[in-house]
Amino acid sequence: MKNIKTLFRKNIAGLAPYSTARDEYQGAIGTYLDANESPYDTDYNRYPDPYQKKLKARIAQIKGIDPGKIFAGNGSDEAIDLAFRVFCEPRIDNVVTIAPTYGMYRVAAAINDVKCREVQLGVGFSLDPAVVLAATDSRTKLIFICSPNNPTGNSFDTEDIVGILEAFAGIVVLDEAYIDFSSGRGLLERLGEFQNLIILQTLSKAWGMAGLRLGLAFADEEIIGAFTRVKYPYNINAATQKIALQQLDNNIYTQLEEIKNERRAMVEKLGKCQVIQRIYPSDANFILVKVEEPRRIYNLLIDSGIIVRDRSRIEGCEGCLRITVGRPEENKKLIDALNSIAEQ
């Protein structure tokens, strides 16, 4: 692997970042007359730590990874956007995505004026590394792989992902937003083997903090350093840092087990619903199902007060609805509603 720095955009490689008052002096106690803050205590009158040191130390401990390899962003969306801003020269470089997948990669590409080359998953939403690599050229900077994949729910074979990492001269962004629900372990424990790997995880799903907006990226220090220079200095506000630290003390194990059990039970019950034509295997906290008349079923579910995601107009997902695994009573409500639709 060549030096990662050679993959950075030229303006980023030489960027001198904004220096905050808290960069100049980092002591914890004193009379702070350096940042034009209000001197009156409101709990939030001081600027937050731009490097989120306490938060990263805790995440490092939970994930078993060096804090220098962690980036915290305003949702995973910030890390996705930063990958474009750090690596992709607008109108010159391109990226590869593997559809059907999470829509944000394509939107971030469009916003950054970077061409998005979309390849399709194969039969049964399978990943063919050769197809993905064939779509790249010397100007391809990023390949986005989402595993478990949204909206299909399946995970890809780790060795296939490793094969792409080894063959590709650019950066692989591996989105593991749903890894906590998966039977696989993901690639975080092997991060050190791959200089060109960025792993995205989030506190929005298994950790129950979607409202706080906290996304994580794990990568080589060189990449985390570039993300940190390019991000807004105070990208994670003080309230989010404080509350996330508290919430990270929660034990989510029981909830994860319940969701996985409910997923198994739902697959079984959905299999007996007349309106369901096909259930795709899921490694995430949602299930993709195929129905004959997706829009009609979607609307009838809304009439029963149940909102699912209509993915039927996405190429490769024709006829499909995506159903999040909820609490047991919510899942029962869904199954009952589907069964009564069948009787109509």
Ligand X SMILES: *Cc1c(COP(=O)(O)O)cnc(C)c1O
Least CB distance from residue 256 to ligand X, whole Å? Answer: 16
* Minimum CB–partner distance for residue 195 and ligand X (Å): 23
Taking the least distance from each CB to ligand X, the nearer of 20 and 324 is 324
The separation between CA 31 and the C-alpha centre of its own chain, rounded to angstroms, equals: 40
- Position with the least CB separation from ligand X: 75
DSSP state of 149: P
Nearer to ligand X (CB atom), residue 279 or residue 284: 284
Q: Are 190 and 69 contacting, i.e. CB atoms less than 8 angstroms apart?
A: no
* Among the listed residues 219, 218, 237, 248, the one whose alpha carbon sits nearest the alpha carbon of residue 74: 237
**Least distance to ligand X from the beta carbon of 244, Å?**
12
**Alpha carbon distances (Å) from 95 to 88, 277, 301, 310:** 8, 35, 37, 27
SS3 246: helix
List the structure tokens of 297. Answer: 């079923």
Within 10 angstroms of residue 15's Cβ, the number of other Cβ atoms is: 14
Tokens of 89: 């020269």
Question: With respect to ligand X, which residue has the nearer C-beta, 9 or 205?
Answer: 205
Taking the least distance from each CB to ligand X, the nearer of 195 and 285 is 285
Number of DSSP helices (H) and strands (E) in the chain, helices first: 12, 11
Cα 201 from Cα 175, distance rounded (Å): 6
Q: Rounded to an integer, what distance in angstroms lies between the CA atom of residue 282 and that of residue 109?
A: 28
Which chain residues interact with ligand X by CB under 6 A?
A: 75-77, 102, 146, 150, 175, 177, 202, 204-205, 210, 215
Whichever of 77 and 160 has its CB closer to ligand X, that residue is 77
Q: Which two tokens stand for residue 165?
A: 């990492």
Q: Quickly tell me which residue has 């200089």 as its tokens.
A: 195
Query: Residue 77 Cβ, how far from ligand X at the closest point, in Å?
Result: 4
Parallel, antiparallel, or unpaired: how do β-strands 286-291 and 276-279 relate? Answer: antiparallel
Which residue number, 79 or 114, has a Cβ lying nearer to ligand X?
79
Q: How far is the CB of 150 from ligand X (least distance, A)?
A: 4
Smallest distance, Å, CB 113 to ligand X? 22
- Output the smallest distance, CB 340 to ligand X, in A: 30
Closer by beta carbon to ligand X, 150 or else 273:
150
Nearer to ligand X, 79 or 273 (CB): 79
In angstroms, rounded to a whole number, what is the distance separating the alpha carbons of residues 164 and 275? 39
For ligand X, give the closer residue by CB, 78 or 220. Answer: 78
How near is the Cβ of 200 to ligand X at its closest, in Å? 6
Distance CA(38)–CA(133), nearest Å, equals 54
Instruction: Please answer whether residues 254 and 321 qualify as being in contact, where contact means their C-beta atoms are separated by less than 8 angstroms.
Output: no
Residue from 293, 266, 298 nearest 279 by CA:
266
Cβ(52)–Cβ(72) under 8 Å? Answer: yes
Q: Minimal distance in Å, beta carbon 178 to ligand X? A: 7
